[in-house]
Amino acid sequence: SQQGEEDPQALSIQEGENATMNCSYKTSINNLQWYRQNSGRGLVHLILIRSNEREKHSGRLRVTLDTSKKSSSLLITASRAADTASYFCATDPTGSEKLVFGKGTKLTVNP
């Protein structure tokens, strides 16, 4: 089963609004990463947050990590049509040798 589960599975918003996506995972992790994928293409790394960090910013992106709740959130502020994509969280579970991806949140930003 997937280590990370994104929520919601799909999200549709208007340009200019904020988009929040959540990721929950099951076991302890070393770090958590967020990636974006435009339709049928490769993934693009957005941000990496380590298990000892609580919040990280990159441009219009804000990521939080709550290891006690085993959850993370990705906030995209002032969304644009170009943000339309699927967003995945990926965890690096402690003791595991694999980077495990969730099934993603499909974000649609309407102009």
Q: Please report, as ranges, the residues that interact with another protein according to CB under 8 A.
A: 2, 30-31, 33, 35, 40-45, 48, 88, 90, 92, 97-104
Task: Select 21 or 102, whichever has its Cβ closest to another protein.
Answer: 102
Task: Select 36 or 70, whichever has its Cβ closest to another protein.
Answer: 36
**Buried b or exposed e, range 86-109, using 16+ CB within 10 angstroms:** bbbbbbbbeeeeeebbbebbbbeb
Measured distance CA(49)–CA(47) in Å, rounded: 7
Tokens describing residue 108: 């649609």
The least CB distance from residue 34 to another protein, in Å, is: 11
Task: Select 71 or 104, whichever has its Cβ closest to another protein.
Answer: 104
